[in-house]
Amino acid sequence: MNKMAVKYDEALDDALYGMKNAEKRKIRVSFLITRKEERLDEIKKAARTAVNRYMKKYPEVAVWTLYQQLFQEECFSLVAAEESSEWEQMRKNTRKVHAKGKLCAEDLAPLLYLKTFITGLDPDDRAKKVVIDEAQDYSFMEIFSLRKAFQTDLFTIVGDLAQGIYHYRGLENWETLQNEIFPTANYLTLQKTYRTTIEIMNLANSLLDDMPDALPKAEPVVRHGDVPAFLYRDEHAIKNIHPLIKDLLEKGMNNFAFVTKTKHEAEQLAHELPSFEIMDENTDVLGDRVILPAYLAKGLEFDVVILYCNEHTYERNELDLKMLYVAMTRPLHRLYLIGRQPEDFLLTDKDGLWTL
C-alpha cells in the first residue's frame, strides 16, 4: 500500500508541475486523486479477503481439545524435557478429571495461555489495570498467563509469603516475578500491621523463626493488649467458654471465632456449640459467632479468636506453621488457645509470649 501511495503521489507531482495546460492538468490531478483512493480501498479489501482465505487453510482446533492432547503420551513426550512416574501419574489423574467434563484449578492458567497465542483475547476482554490480592497463593503460570493475555504491565500485586498455605502451587519468593515477568516492577516491603496487638503479633512472629526461608516479620503499631492465653481442654472446657464470652461482651468485644485446623474438627465443635455458626466455602455473610477451619480464615478479622485443637495438632512443617500463623493473626484484641497441651499449637516457653 505504501508503494502504491508513493506511485500516485509521484504522478501527482508530475501533473502539477510538469503539465503546462491548466485544463488538462486539472483533469489529470482530479483523476489521480480519485484513482488513488479507489486503488487503496481495493487493496485494503483484497488484503482482508486474502488473510481470511489464508487462515481458512488452517484446521479449526478448539483450545480445550488441543490442551487435552498435551496429556496424551505421544504429545507430552514432544514438549517435556524428561519423563517420570510422577509426571505419568499426574497425566493419568488429569485425564480422569477431564473425562468427567471437569477442570482442575491448575488447568485455567495454561488454557488462558493457549488461547492467547492461538486466537488471542478480544480487546474488549482485556483488563487495562490488574490488582491481585493474596498473590502468594497464585502460581507463576497464573500470573504469567494474565500478563500475556492482557498485554499490560499495570499490575498491582499484594501478598504475604508467610500466609502461603497453598505452597505446593503458590509463589516461594517475589524475585521470580521481578526477574521473569515484570523486570521493571517496583518492589516495596510493607511490614506495619494495624490489626493485631503487639502481644498477639509477637507470638505469631515467633512461628516465622521455624520457617525454612527467612521471611520479614510484621511490625504491629503501638497497641497493647492481653498476652495470648492457653486453656487446657478438659470436660469443662466448652462449658467454661460461655462465661468467658459473657465477660468479653461486657468488655466491648462484639464478634468471636473458633478456628480449628481441619474442617472435620470444625464440624465436631459445632455440635458442642450450637450458638455458633459453622463457616464453609459457600458462606457469604458472617455472623458474630462463627466456627471455621484455619485455611478459610485468611483476610478475616474478629475481636476475639479462640484456636481449638482436639485431635489434629499442628506440626513443625511449613504448611502447618503458615496455617497457624494465619489463625493467630486474625484477632483484633484477644487470642485464646484451647488444647490438650501447649505443644498442640507449637507453644514453648518463649519469654512470656503466652500465659496459662
Please count the other Cβ atoms lying within 10 Å of the Cβ belonging to residue 304: 23
For 7, the grid coordinates are 506511485
Question: pLDDT band at residue 55, thresholds of 50, 70 and 90?
Answer: low
Bridge partners, residue 306, by sequence: 258, 336
Quick check: 114 pLDDT over 70? Answer: yes
Q: By percentage, how much of the chain surpasses pLDDT 90?
A: 28
Question: 333: number of CA atoms within 13 Å, CB side?
Answer: 11
Question: 106: number of CA atoms within 13 Å, CB side?
Answer: 12
pTM of the model: 0.72
Q: Which residue is listed with cell 458462606?
A: 283
Could you give phi then psi for residue 332, rounded to 5 degrees?
-85, -35
Quick check: 223 pLDDT over 80? Answer: yes
Could you give phi then psi for residue 147, rounded to 5 degrees?
-60, -45
Task: For residues 96 and 93, give the distance between their C-alpha atoms in angstroms, rounded to a whole number.
Answer: 5
Alpha helix stretches (DSSP H) within 174-261 = 175-180, 198-208, 237-250
Task: For residues 317 and 308, give the distance between their C-alpha atoms in angstroms, rounded to a whole number.
Answer: 19
Q: What is the mean pLDDT of residues 208-217?
A: 81
Write out pLDDT tens, residues 88-105. Answer: 888 889 999 999 989 988
* Rg of the chain over all Cα atoms, to the nearest angstrom: 32
The residues, any chain, with a CB within 8 Å of residue 326's CB and separated by 6 or more, are 163, 165, 294, 295, 297, 298
Quick check: 350 pLDDT over 70? Answer: no
